[in-house]
Amino acid sequence: MKNNNLIQNKITEREFNLHPDLADFGPVISRILSSRGITNKKQISYKLSSLAPISSLNNVDEAIEILLKYKKDKIVIVGDYDVDGATSVSLLIRCLGEFGFENFSYIVPNRMKDGYGLTPSVVDEAKKRNPKLIVTVDNGISSFKGIDEARKLGIDVLVTDHHLPGQSLPNANVILNPNLFDSKFKSPHLAGIGVAFYLMAGLAKELERQGMSNARKIPLKFLDLVALGTIADVVKLDFNNRVLVDRGLKIIRNGDCVKGIQSLIEKSGKNYKKLTSQDLGFSIAPKINASGRLDDISIGIECLLTDDKEKANKFSDLLISTNTKRKEIQKKMSDEASNYVKKFKKNELSSCICVYDKNWHQGLVGLIASKLKEEYNRPVFAFAYDDNDTLKGSGRSVSGIHIRDLLESISNENPNLIIKFGGHAMAAGLSINEVDYNSFRASVSQHIDLIYPDYNYTGDIQTDGLLLPDQLSLNLANRIQEFGPWGTGFEEPKFHGKFHIHDQRVVGGYHLKMQVQPVDGKKIIDAIAFNQQNIITREAIGFIYKLDVNEFRGKITEQLVVDHILQY
């Protein structure tokens, strides 16, 4: 059987030690949880009281103090142009307003003009508003020049960020970051919105101590924003982050979320009562992100700030329209990148793939890197032309290769090769001179080979094993959802198995809708494979799939969401 859509990856099943405390969940759920390090029921009991204490976050008292110092003065919040940044800005604007702060506004850098973070040009824009304090959210830890410029102008700076610091820190008045060198905070994987939430929760606690009644309830109202930003930023869902996301999803499912999220859910055809973390990550977040990639993330922020349903719907329509345009541009770029990489045989590929086209859109190179990383199971850097003969790049990594540390290693050896960089374990951004592209491409692979000499690039696929035919049920699909939220580091369960295809058709131009039957069962089950064309075969075929709940025209059924189609 020859079919270019099929892959031949090795399948390995997750290892687990079944813990007695989980046995009453049944064999499948207990196996899933055990293989993700769960040993007792407390680890899946997501109570707010279980969160890491606010006081354990380094410098949180100083951060609260500087905010209160300027409660009656002008404060400018500087965000980032992704969903994490947008939700962080929205959270601070909403909370500060309800806390009685008198004069605050926000600025988000223009991706093309200003670049990332608190740059000197952003400070120039902020100073027109005569602020006493600048607060960064989801950025700032690498904004040395911008912070120096602000301090020269007599503007104090509070940095709230989650990205990894370099060997030195910027000269901000206060830095709130769970990844500072001396941090003992037990959840270093907070997203930017997570750091912002801890700051607002700490501020609420202090205001309540000073006499403001029910202040602590204010940040809790907006955990829907925290859930959205956390999932969108693809940070590790450790226990602390799972608590935040779970509580945020409960707010959404209760119908109490902000109007913008509510509108995006409706216009995405989702049921808010059954919304999952996967819906946030794959349906809601991309629509907001598109505005920051192609246009202005302020559209997304305003969508999250408005309490007017009609305005929320108008902003949602704009976001959806921009996202449609994003998909069109991305497809062209993705096809061009894939065609370039396909020129090489897999055994000829270097340990890091670098791609560049002068006509590519800066805002979409991260998506191109992510897609290639998934396909070739190795780090990828995608670049677009910036200006002044420089390139702006975005990198995505695979488990086990720390991409920010990789860039730091390259920069330490050759300080002139990278103009600037930042990020965390799985994603990073950087700028280089165009003339240095080939040197960077060679250097990054050399450093990976040196630091990770035994890395396995074959792309083995890890699953939660086989499901018996009678386990392919709506009941199990619902139970899997109940034990979420699922995400990075607490991956949604995947299974493997062989199926006969009874019917197939392409829907939406790109997606393969099928009716399939397990080889050792009789039941016919719906299945869908995204970005997949028809499969030509009469033989049973292998799937790596998720067992999902599908709701269509009021009918609820189990459905296989096929991630990989295998050739045995």
Domains and CATH numbers, the chain: 57-239 (3.90.1640.30), 344-451 (3.10.310.30), 464-566 (2.40.50.460)
- For residues 309-334, give the mean pLDDT: 97
pLDDT range class, residue 534, cuts 50, 70, 90: confident
Residue 176 predicted with pLDDT over 50 = yes
Residues facing residue 529 across a β-bridge: 512, 562
- For residues 345-351, give the mean pLDDT: 84
pLDDT range class, residue 212, cuts 50, 70, 90: very high
Residues 520-556, buried b or exposed e (16+ Cβ, 10 A)? ebeeebbbbbeebeebebeebbbbbbbbbbbeeeeee
Reference 139, options 167, 168, 172, 113; nearest CA is 172
Instruction: For 109-130, write each residue's pLDDT tens digit.
Output: 988 788 889 999 999 999 999 9
Residues facing residue 412 across a β-bridge: none
- For residues 431-457, give the mean pLDDT: 96
**Which of 1-15, 120-134, 315-329 has the lowest average pLDDT?**
1-15
With H, G, I as helix, E, B as strand and everything else as coil, classify residue 89.
helix
Instruction: For 5-30, write each residue's pLDDT tens digit.
Output: 455 568 899 999 988 899 999 999 99
d(Cα 448, Cα 395) in Å, to the nearest integer? 14
Structure tokens at 20: 């007695």
Inter-residue contact 138 to 199 (CB < 8 Å):
no
Inter-residue contact 512 to 532 (CB < 8 Å):
yes
